[in-house]
A and B are shown apart, each in its own frame.
Chain A
Amino acid sequence: MLFNSLEYLLFLPCVLLLYHSLPFRLQNPLLLAASYFFYGYWDWRFLLLMILSTCCDFALANALARTETPFARKAMLALSISINLGALGFFKYYNFFADSMARLLQSFGFHSNVGTLHIILPVGISFYTFQSMGYIIDVYRRDIKPIRGFFSYALFVSYFPQLMAGPIERFANLFGQLSNPRTMTKELASEGAYLILWGMFKKILIADNLAELANYGFSNLSSLNFFTALAVIYAFAFQIYCDFSGYTDIARGSSLLLGIRLRLNFDFPYFSAGPSEFWQRWHISLSTWLRDYLYVSLGGNRHGSLRTYRNLMVTMILGGLWHGANWTFLLWGFYQGLLLVAFRFFGRKTGFRPPRAVGAILFFQLVCVGWVFFRASSLGECLDFFAALGRFTPSYLPRVHVLVLIVPLLLMEGVQFLRKDMFSVFRIHPAMRVLFYLGIYLITMVAGKWESNSFIYFQF
């Protein structure tokens, strides 16, 4: 079920009405049933896979907690991670590696019998797999005690607002709230409703309109010149931001209406003045996951500069690969790692820091270079795009006017960023607030793209 569908606009109020009329002991069973319905609505076979993964991790986490022998504990952790990564690897990466292996063997003159399969990627698998892995690693590290009730654990994995594309939740935050009675307040309801409205505005109005421009540009790379290529990549930069952060806003808003506060996933990333800050503001739940479970496990910054740089590169390359099975994602991760290393190296050497606004504008250009790798479907497309930046021949781009949609977004988020308050709209006069909400609703209804546009991150 897509957040930007009529199904969800009917599903959510039904769940809310039922949920708030039930006593606490029945609320979690309702949420689990609703979450499984939400997920199974897509394809019930994916639901079976998720339940299977839930059973394995639940059993292993509890067995792990009861075991004291270090070797057995390590073996159980390895087994759980193998199951999770095995499922992820099969559904997400099998064809990529089979195809790459075949090409490699062919280049050496060998014939490969490893065929690709027609595999459909279960939606959300990367997200719930990482959430489960984070949980089991925490149990292994004895940071947390395992969840005793199966259905409680199943809800922790499948909680519908964040199931499809995060935020990747941590045990302490989500389970802590799920296991205690929730108090619904006016503040939570207002924030929740506002986030849903603002998320819809970002996704349906901005992202999906900009998508047409970005898609056209990447389908007609040979006709682009320097200016139209810039327009295309700026369109994509804001498309992907509004698409993913819009999804997160709707997820967080829906959850707030259930009385559960999901973690922040986007914190005005395009106002960042460097890669380190960017990764503290962009897809925060993934970057902190990678930091805590991968970067730190590799040694983090504890063993000198060279090891730190290596760890950064490994973390970012694997982070890139997490997004999808394509060399372009690997390249994107490599590029992000390179930026982190370069800024760290030169920042320490020179101590140079441009004024914040200038730094943010300049760094945004570097982010956009990364988006070329991210958006292109092949390395050849990346090269074609960079070649277009060197052309100054006349070029036509239809619907370029949709770029104007970025202006209200930047104005709104600029105010929120400067005031350090995501809900600064709550501080304006109530009458103006009503007008603001009506304006957002009307413009999203009439100028938004309501039909058939999935979220980009669902494919990851």
Chain B
Amino acid sequence: MKLFAVISPVGWITLVCIFLMEAVFLARSESLAGFPFLQPTSDDATVMAKRALIRRTDGAIVLIGDSSCMFGLIPGIIQEATRVPCINLGTLLSFTMAGYESLLEETEETHVPAAVVVVLNPRAFQPDLAGARRFGMLGRYLLAYGRGNRGYAPGFKDFQSLLFRKHQLNSFPEEFGGSFDAFAGELDSTAGYFPEFHRYLAPKNRETGFVSSDFTRNALARLVAHSRSKGIPVYFWWSPLPQDAVDPGYLSAANALGREIGTWDGIKLLQDTLPTWHPGLFATVTHLNARGAEANSRILAGKLLPFVRH
């Protein structure tokens, strides 16, 4: 081949070195990120750290959902009240409902939780398929761990995103412990809860126009059906919202969806309506502060008690 004949020795040596470096890097790094050679992004780190908790889900109450779940429910409190181990597998909104579905499916493949509680901020119903592709988190997860999802087929962009992000130099945010090891260690010690330290700032405008996509609703339906097929009860829990963050129309639309979900087979609503709380219990518009998370956990534990007491 003419092309190979014109590559100089320096070119060959460089290509071989790059090939070897990449081979070692790809073989020795975590599937989703360049760790331990490079720090992951906080998004990828969350999914990696939560996957590491899957091994502790046998016989446990598994909390799954968006970041309002991760920052808003303390497994220790729920465990203390119910005497049943509890693991918080809440991740991020950008992972989308199909991501929570896949993570739970991965959990239920090898472990049998005592119960699953889907914990969501109403915003988690918003992302559609295009949004999920834009976020890229789900596609990277599916490709990295060789998983499938009926609502999302990873594309070439996901592969590109996975490959490039694995190589990316990140400085791990100080607020998450400054390194992946510290972050994962913290999540391991709290069974998946992470405290939010921001100070609440009232939003300029109240949120209006609640949207729920078919992509999200279908993923939730599949999640419920999968757990049901394994005989695992599924409960639904709205994360509270600050009183000054949403308008009444938004609340009533979200409540209508909640009621609809309550009619599905295999899922039980634990609240009558989406709760709105005093802003003093929040760190951000979507995340509770430590005091709020404590209160939220106690209320959820109380609601779960009749169903899951050891």
Contact = CB atoms under 8 A, between A and B. Distances in A.
A193 B11 contact: yes
Interface of A: 5-7, 16-17, 20-21, 184-186, 188-190, 193, 257, 430, 433-434, 437-438, 441-442, 445-447, 450-451
B8 A446 contact: no
A6 B3 contact: no
Contacts of B14: 434, 437-438, 441
A20 B92 CA distance: 48
A451 B8 CA distance: 31
Max chain B CB contacts within 10 Å: which of A184, A189, A257, A433? A189
11 contacts: A6-B156, A16-B3, A20-B3, A186-B8, A190-B10, A437-B14, A438-B17, A441-B14, A441-B18, A447-B169, A451-B164
10 closest A-B pairs by beta carbon, nearest first, are A450-B164, A6-B160, A446-B169, A189-B6, A20-B3, A445-B167, A437-B14, A20-B2, A186-B6, A430-B10
Contacts of B156: 6-7
Contacts of A21: 1-2
A5 B160 contact: yes
Given A6-B159, A441-B18, A450-B168, A434 B13 contact: yes
Interface in B138-158: 156
A447 B38 CA distance: 11
Contacts of A5: 160
B161 interface: yes
A430 B9 contact: yes
Contact of A190 (B1, B8, B167): B8
B167 to A, nearest CB: 4
Nearest to B22: A445
Contact of A434 (B3, B17, B164): B17
A210 B161 CA distance: 21
B221 interface: no
Max chain A CB contacts within 10 Å: which of B6, B7, B11? B6
Given A184-B2, A190-B11, A450-B168, 13 more contacts: A6-B159, A6-B163, A6-B164, A7-B160, A16-B3, A21-B2, A184-B3, A186-B6, A434-B14, A438-B17, A447-B169, A450-B167, A451-B160
B64 to A, nearest CB: 28
A17 B163 CA distance: 24
Contacts of B169: 446-447
Nearest to B159: A6
Nearest to B169: A446
